[in-house]
Amino acid sequence: MAFIPMIPEEEATGLLKQCYDRNLQTVGRTSEVVTALSLRPEALRVSTHFRSTTLFGASDLGRRREEFIATLISDLVQCSY
């Protein structure tokens, strides 16, 4: 269970709902790391924008190499998510 409350999809309104909807369109689900920022919709908006311009096809590395980096760093900093 997360350390702070997270707003579920069905309760999202306004900017938060827009962020959730956009994430659903691009990733196909509302992932936990998105709802983690739900108490601050503007933080979610700017960080999601940065992600979408940097990863998941926005880099020239390709998904395989992006995931190589992601998996190694997640293990090194011990982040199971």
Partner 1 sequence: MDRALLAYSEKITFFPEQLTSGDLNALREVGYPEKQVLDIVLVAGYRHYITRIANGIGIEIGADRVEESILAQYTYSHDAPTKQASEIRELQGDGATLGQVMEEIEPGLWVERPDFSGVGETLGTEFQEWEKLIGFVPNWLTALSLHQESAAAASEFARYCTFGGSPLGSPREHLIGYLVASLLRAPYFLGLHGSQLREQGASQELLENVQGWRNAALSEQDQAILEFVEHLTLDSHRVTQEKVDRLVATGLSESEILDVVVLTSFLNCFCRVTDALGVPLDPASKAFFEKFKPAFMQ
Assigned token pair, 28: 């196909």
33 touches partner 1 by CB under 8 A? yes
Half-sphere exposure of 40 (CA within 13 A, CB side): 9
11 touches partner 1 by CB under 8 A? no
Q: Give whichever of 13 and 78 is closer to partner 1, judged by the CB atom.
A: 78
Q: CB of 13: closest distance to partner 1 in angstroms? A: 16
# residues near partner 1 by CB under 8 A: 42
3 touches partner 1 by CB under 8 A? yes
Give the integer Cα–Cα distance in Å for 59 and 63.
Answer: 9
Sequence length of the chain is: 81
**Cβ(81)–Cβ(33) under 8 Å?**
yes
13 touches partner 1 by CB under 8 A? no
